[in-house]
Amino acid sequence: MIARPVRIDALSLMPRLPWPLPALLAWAAAWLVYLGLQGRVVPVAALVVACAVGTAASVLGQGWWRRGLIATGFPLSLALSGAASVPAWAWLVPLALLLLVYPLNAWRDAPLFPTPHDALRGLSAAVALPTGARVLDAGCGLGDGLLALRRVYPAARLEGVEWSVPLRLLCALRCPWATVRRGDLWHDDWSGYAMVYLFQRPESMARAAAKAQAEMAAGTWLVSLAFEVPGATPHARLQPDGGHAVWVYRMGGQPVASRPAAAL
């Protein structure tokens, strides 16, 4: 039996800081990095590294306005201060970094919002998986879904696929026990998985159900945090501690998306 991991990392703790502390810390860190690099590297490199710090820290913000403020606070304050002697094109760096972390393609499905710590509590009681079962977090972001899955299925083989390059790299660092790939969740083959986990958008759920029904074997599982498959009857609906609902669908039999809705 694999021991339950006890892991506390900075990314898990930082989102709980009260607003605007995450922004103030991120801006201060970016400024410190920028000032610390003065005279050591060319000004553009200092701008790039400091903006990267601010953009990376933006994932600590809850909601789009806060993320945008965290990411843009440093370059805006630098521009207003007039302290930077960089070419005009260098001001596109913050925008490029934002697009790297939040690629437009991923926005169609879901931008980054992490699975809360205990969101999947009770899932293993509703669905037992054999040791070594392959479980995919489709759109794994920074790895919070994989961490939550590992808490409930410590003996599963966990995999993640993520479109954003930096998020995929950070996820692989946070989840070295998982196989984390860069790719498009819609182009992935789900046929080998015992469970596919999603935290996407309501609009994505019909498409995800159709894909799961077409590719996954009978008796396997599609699990969605917060968003249900429209018009489908779940095998179970969990609601740990009043958080997001966890919708559990069993593959096989009638197409998942064509069953009539049923009150639970």
Ligand X SMILES: C[S@@+](CC[C@H](N)C(=O)[O-])C[C@H]1O[C@@H](n2cnc3c(N)ncnc32)[C@H](O)[C@@H]1O
> What gap in Å lies between CA 210 and CA 252, rounded to an integer?
12
Which residue stretch of 15-23, 33-41, 72-80, 180-188 sits at the interface with ligand X (rule: CB under 6 A)?
Answer: 180-188
121 binds ligand X (CB under 6 A): no
Site size toward ligand X, by CB under 6 A: 23
Binding to ligand X, residues 186-205 (CB under 6 A): 186, 199-200
140 binds ligand X (CB under 6 A): yes
Q: Which residue has the tokens 């996954």?
A: 216
Q: How many residues does the chain have?
A: 264
> What gap in Å lies between CA 76 and CA 71, rounded to an integer?
9
> What gap in Å lies between CA 107 and CA 203, rounded to an integer?
12
> What gap in Å lies between CA 64 and CA 21, rounded to an integer?
16
Instruction: Rule CB under 6 A: choose which of 53, 71, 156, 185 binds ligand X.
Output: 185
* Min separation Cβ 64 and ligand X, Å: 12
User: Closest residue (Cβ) to ligand X?
Assistant: 139
Instruction: Rule CB under 6 A: choose which of 60, 109, 234, 246 binds ligand X.
Output: 109
163 binds ligand X (CB under 6 A): yes
> What gap in Å lies between CA 209 and CA 91, rounded to an integer?
42
> What gap in Å lies between CA 138 and CA 140, rounded to an integer?
6
Which residues in this chain contact ligand X in the complex, by CB under 6 A? Answer: 106, 109-110, 112-115, 137, 139-141, 144-145, 161-164, 167, 184-186, 199-200
